[in-house]
Amino acid sequence: MRKEIWLGTVLLAASAAAYSTAGFFTRLIHVDAMTMLFWRGIFAGLFLTAMVAWRERGHVAKSVRAIGRDGLLIALCSALATVCFLNAFRLSSVADVMVIDATIPFLTAGIAWLLIGEREDRITLLATLAAVAGVAVMAGPAIASGHLLGNLLALGMALLMSVVLVLIRRNPGVSMLPAVALSAFLCALIVLPYAQPFAVDRVEMLELFLFGTTQFGMGLLLLALGTPLVSATRGALIGTLQTPLATFWVWLAFAETPAVATLAGGAIVLAAVLGDIALPRRKQHVIT
């Protein structure tokens, strides 16, 4: 496996680990959801803007212009995906949303083939199928029916995130950090009318700062850096690790013992991702 692919795999696994702490922070921070999301977006946007300034060192304006139309689409799609995701949880069950979220690698494979002609190998596609099955096992006992609108929103989120991954992959020579920083600020702007930004105390503000920087900001940063280095479908497959990891953090912090189905499904997801990484290929599908 080429060095760039290994690096991309590590970065995306770290991104999934960062994203997976969302459940931990939402349990920890006792403010309403919209206020939480507002400050998460603000702190993530500021964190990512600082990273852009540090990386570019005097060429920030040039890096912002370089993202072009694809970068603006990435920012818009990422922000809208967050909105769909939040409302899907309100109108559907967590289990339904988890299963639909796990289909992102399949959607990404189709969109990558249509937009950039990237064909995924059989091993990754089979690993993706196994990962979806693992998430289904985790969520199976709670999968509900009669949540059409919520499930449609979850599907919209999955499609939008697939587009984000493919667009980042389509521009391997362009840093999309300014685009993901913009997406964080857009998320905050979208929820602002429903938030109460100043109804938080100093301890909650510190917790919100950590939420925005370590979960959302770091997750977006590592996603933007890692996605250009691997195939779009593999990137989405690695992202499914956040589902079993989220259960692990909540168990570790709040002593919530996971169900047998959760452990079994998480093991399947982990085995699928590790199998995709470890099994040999005849060739790698890398855009250069």
**Residue 165 vs residue 282, higher pLDDT:** 165
Q: What value does the mean pLDDT of the chain take?
A: 85
User: Which token pair is 143?
Assistant: 């999968």
The whole-number average pLDDT for the span 126-145 is 76
The torsion region of residue 255 among left (phi > 0), alpha (psi -120 to 50) and beta comes to left
Global confidence as pTM: 0.83
Per-residue pLDDT of 247-258, as tens digits, reads: 888 788 777 777
Tokens representing residue 56 in the block = 């570019």
Residue 125 has pLDDT above 90, yes or no: no
Q: Which residue has the higher pLDDT, 103 or 224?
A: 224
User: At which residue do the structure tokens 């690790």 appear?
Assistant: 241
**For range 91-120, the mean pLDDT:** 80
- Given this model, what pLDDT does residue 59 score? 87
pLDDT at 162 over 50: yes
| Pair 108, 59: CB distance under 8 Å | no
Alpha carbon dihedral 123, 125, 129, 134, in 10-degree steps, equals 60
Question: Pick from 235, 207, 181, 193: which is nearest to 28 by CA?
Answer: 207
Percentage of the chain surpassing pLDDT 70?
A: 92
The pLDDT value given to residue 116? 84
State the Cα–Cα distance between residues 22 and 16, nearest whole angstrom.
11
262-286 pLDDT, tens per residue? 788 888 888 988 888 787 765 544 4
Closest CA to 47 of 172, 188, 164: 188
Select the more confidently predicted residue: 75 or 265: 75
Alpha carbons 250 and 99: distance in angstroms, whole number? 19
Specify whether the CB–CB gap between 75 and 190 falls below 8 A: no
